[in-house]
Amino acid sequence: MGSFASPSPGPRAEEWVGECLERLDGRVTRVGPGQWRLARPGEDKARATVAVDRGWLVVERPVPGCRITRLPRTTRWSWRLLDPGVSLASGARAVLPPGETDARIRAERPMVSPRHDDPEVLARWIGTACAGAASYAGGARTTAMNIDADESCGTNRVDIPELCELAGWSATVRSASGEAVVALPARDGDVCHATATTGDGALNLHVALGVAGDAETTPLCQAAVALALLRAAGSVRLVRSTATRHDGHIAAALEVRLQPPVGIETLNHALSALAFAHQQIASELEALAGDDSLAGAYLALQGAR
C-alpha cells in the first residue's frame, strides 16, 4: 500500500476504526497513524491494509505477482484487472497508482454520514471489502451482497432524480429504459452523461468513454488504453475503470458503485469524481487509441514497455 500523505486522522476516527477492527476475525497490527494491517484466518501473505485518509476509510490489498513492467504483462494484467464482469459488494476496484508498477485492489468509503460512526456498520463494510479484495486479486467473480435488510431497502427505493437535485445535479429519466441520466461537466465547456441505475442492492453510476470510434486499435494502442484506465482509477477516489474489446474495438467506461445508505454527500462525491475522471482521461484515451507511435511513447514513459 502506498504511503498516505494526510496528517493523523484524529483520535475519534482512529477510535471508530480500531473498535470495528476488534470485531473482525484475524490479527490486527497497527503500522502507522491511522493505518492497520489485517491478517485474516486462512489468507495468504498478501494482507489487507486498512487506513483512515483525509476523511475516507480505505481498504487496500496487493495483487500477488502483478507487476506491470513490460508490454506483454501490461496487456495480460490490464485486461484482467479491468474486466467489467467483476462486480464487488464493497465497490473495490483495481488501481495502479501513478509512478508505480504494482497493481492493487482498493475499496473506499467516505466517513461523512452519522451512520458511519457505528462501529458495527464499519466492521461489516471492512469485512466485505477485505473479502472482496481477496477474491478480486485471485480472479474470482462475485456479486454477493452482505447488507442487512434495513440498509439494502434504502438504495432500492431512492428517487434518483430527486436525490441528484438535492445534491445540486441535473437529472432526467429516459422514458424507454427508465434510467436516470445525470449531466456532468466535461472539458472545454462540454457535457457528458452518467446513467444511474439500481441493482443488486447498490446504486450504479456509469459514464461511457468514446475511445476509437469505428477504427480498429492495434495491440500497442490497446495496451496503452488499458494502462491509462488503470492509472485513472488509481488517481481518482471511488471511480472504477472498465474495458472490453471485440474484433479490435475497445469499449471503455468509468463507473462508481455506491452501497447503501446513499446520502447527498456521498452522491455528490461520486458524481464529482466521475466528472473529474472524465475530464482527465477522455481526450487522452481517444489519442492513445488512434496513434501507434503515441501509444508506444506513453508505454515507454510509464515504464511498461
Fold type of domain 11-301: Yope Regulator; Chain: A, (3.30.1460)
C-alpha cell at 299: 508505454
Which residues, in sequence order, are CB contacts of 202 under 8 Å at separation 6+? 89, 91, 145, 155, 257, 258, 259, 260
Q: How many residues make up the chain in this entry? A: 305
Q: Which of 25-39, 131-145, 198-212, 269-283 has the lowest mean pLDDT?
A: 131-145
The C-alpha cell that represents 262 in the structure block? 446513499
Q: Which residues contact 52 (CB under 8 A, 6 or more apart)?
A: 9, 13, 14, 17, 34, 35, 58, 111
Strand 56-67 and strand 48-53: the pairing is antiparallel
This prediction has a pTM of: 0.81
Which neighbouring-strand residues pair with 12? none
Q: Over 90: is that where the pLDDT of 253 sits?
A: yes
Which of 63-67, 70-74, 146-150, 207-211 shows the lowest mean pLDDT across its residues?
A: 146-150
Per-residue pLDDT tens over the stretch 127-174: 888 888 888 877 633 333 232 323 333 334 567 888 888 888 988 888
CA 173 – CA 50 distance, rounded (Å): 38
Non-local (6+) Cβ contacts of 257 within 8 A are: 87, 88, 91, 202, 203, 204, 205, 240
How many whole angstroms separate alpha carbon 228 and alpha carbon 225? 5
Residue 177 pLDDT more than 70?
yes
> Averaged over 199-203, what is the pLDDT?
80
106 has a pLDDT exceeding 90: yes
Instruction: Look at the alpha carbons of 193, 198, 203, 208 in this order and tell me if their dihedral is positive or negative.
Output: negative
The conformational region for residue 63 under phi > 0 = left, psi -120 to 50 = alpha, else beta, is beta
Placement of cell 489468507 in the chain: 43
The whole-number pLDDT of residue 158 equals 61
Confidence of residue 105 (pLDDT cuts 50, 70, 90): very high
Query: Which range, 35-49, 119-133, 288-302, has the best average confidence (pLDDT)?
Result: 288-302
Provide the mean pLDDT of the chain: 80
Calculate what percentage of the chain has a pLDDT beyond 90. Answer: 24
Q: Residue 2 gets which letter from DSSP?
A: P
Phi, psi (rounded to 5 degrees) for 201: 75, 15
Give pLDDT, residue 117. Answer: 61
Which residues sit opposite 182 in a β-bridge? 171, 194
pLDDT value at residue 64: 81
Q: What is the pLDDT of residue 293?
A: 92
- What CA–CA distance (Å, rounded) separates 75 from 63? 16
Q: Strand, coil or helix: what is 50? A: strand
Give the residue extent of every domain in the chain. Answer: 11-301
Question: Is there a contact between 251 and 244 (Cβ–Cβ < 8 Å)?
Answer: yes
**Residue range 255-280, pLDDT digits in tens:** 998 887 788 888 999 999 999 999 99
90 touches 107 (CB < 8 A): yes
51, β-bridge pairs: 35, 58
